[in-house]
Amino acid sequence: MDTEKQSDRMTVIVQQLDAKYKATPYPAYAHLFLSKTLVDAKSYDKALVQLNWVIQHSSIASVQAMSTVRKARILVAQKQYTEALTVLDTVSDEFYNAPVAMLRGDIDNAQGDSTAAQKQYKLAAQALQKDGQKDPILEMKI
């Protein structure tokens, strides 16, 4: 089954989940999964619609934060750097400090500001170290 047919079929299932189980967390997870499928198909605008749904309707703060970071990544892929930074400003869950700082660094790098990028990458590394974690890709960027 090609990706477009798969995403169309998934959209129908997501709509059914929205209708029957809107008071549960299941629709949010379904929208997340659909957004990933749409990103894989490079249907970024459609993926953003799904992520916006999760951000607006999920009652789970960490799911909203994760969706917000994913939304910013899509905006970066579309070279909408200012909008991506604005979206990242809304992430308040400290668990996402490292991915937010890393993505900010990627944006700075894409805009040609390697000094600002290095500062963000170091902030990301510090956030990961605080939790006893490392990211080999981040280490290569530093």
Could you read off the pLDDT of 86-105 as tens digits, one per residue?
A: 999 999 999 999 999 999 99
- pLDDT for 13 equals 78
Radius of gyration (C-alpha) of the chain in whole angstroms: 16
How far apart CA 126 and CA 123 sit, in angstroms, is 5
Rounded alpha-carbon distances, angstroms, from residue 43 to 38, 91, 100, 134? 5, 24, 23, 31
Check if the beta carbon of residue 38 is closer than 8 Å to that of residue 44.
Answer: yes
7-36 residue pLDDT tens: 778 888 788 777 888 888 888 999 999 999
Q: Is the pLDDT of residue 64 over 70?
A: yes
Element (H, E) at 139: helix 136-141
Distance, CA of 92 to chain centre: 14
pLDDT band at 68 (very low <50, low <70, confident <90, very high): very high
- pLDDT for 1 equals 53
